Amino acid sequence: MAKIQKIELNLAQKIANPFKTTRKSSTNPFKYNDFEGNTLDLSAFADVFEGSSKPVSKLKMITASVVGTMTKIRSNITEPIVNFVNRVRTGITSAWDYANNTSVSEFLGIDKLSEKIKNINIGKEITDRLALPHINLTEINQTISGKWAGLIEKINHKRISSETPVAELRTMWLDEIELASKKEVA
Amino acid sequence: MNKNIAEIIDALAAHQDTSSIGVLEELGTNSSDNDVREYTSRALVRKNVHDSLKVVIINQGKGINDLSPAVAMSTINEILSLKDKTEVIKILDDTINLHSDESVKENARSVKSLLALS
């Protein structure tokens, strides 16, 4: 009976004002939809309902731009990523197979290198190596003799003075002349 | 020129023994090396004694009479730079008056003229 009375009241109200609704005015248009309480927090869309007078956040603009660009790039990729990765992997595998299955002699430049090795005359190399110490010894000999001559000259140098007897000076002079003539002949 | 020879010449030039002049004349002024001849001639002039000056003034082909102009001029320069010129003037006069070789006389006359001008 109570239910019937309630319906009658409602009908009466509708007849009196057919455009009047029972909904309360609200800023949330989804409030009365059936989301079973899982409504979104509208603070995320606060900008939508705000006036344009508020300055636009640059960070948000950049983020939006990046997201848009990424979407565009993804749509432009014609080859699936999986195919691309497979292709690279195949390339690496083929190089590895080439290295494993190719003999050393087939590598580029190896033949020229082997020719070089063949052309090396080991006997000559050894002779050259043996000849080197001989030359060095001769040079050392010359150096020693030069040093010795220098030492002798120094000893003679001490003897040359006005105190030295004239006969001795004469002999020394003659020796020098003889030495110079020997050098000229050599 | 050999450094040792130069030192021997210096030693002989400074030597008190008159026999040093003979060695300088024998080995120095007769040398085939122009430098040795020049150095010896100057050493003999520096000794500034009668026997040494006589070697470079009166001998043909030695001292002021050397065939090498460099040796001759160097000897003349050394004579001109002597402090005591009495002995050299005496020898030059004797050479001009008594020497038999005309070219030696002529050279002695030229050096005496230079000494008069200096």
Hey, are the CB atoms on B14 and A180 less than 8 Å from each other?
A: no
Please indicate if any CB of chain B lies within 8 Å of the CB of A171: no
Q: Where are the domains of chain A?
A: 57-120, 121-185
The pLDDT profile of chain A, 186 residues, written as one tens digit per residue, is 566 666 666 666 666 665 655 555 556 555 555 555 554 555 555 555 555 555 667 677 777 776 666 666 655 555 566 676 677 767 767 777 776 676 666 666 666 666 766 666 666 666 666 665 555 667 777 778 777 777 766 655 557 888 888 899 999 999 988 888 888 887
Tell me the ipTM for this assembly: 0.87
Tell me which of B3, B7, B8, B16 to substitute to probe the interface with A (most A C-beta atoms closer than 10 Å): B8
Task: Compute the CA torsion angle B3, B8, B12, B15 (nearest 10 deg).
Answer: 100
Hey, are the CB atoms on A160 and B8 less than 8 Å from each other?
A: yes
CA-based nearest distance A140→chain B, Å: 25
Q: Which of B2, B8, B15 sits opposite A180 (nearest CB)?
A: B2
CA-based nearest distance A113→chain B, Å: 58
Hey, are the CB atoms on A173 and B2 less than 8 Å from each other?
A: no
Residues of B in contact with A157 (CB under 8 A): 4, 7
What is the number of other CB atoms lying within 10 angstroms of the CB of residue A84? 11
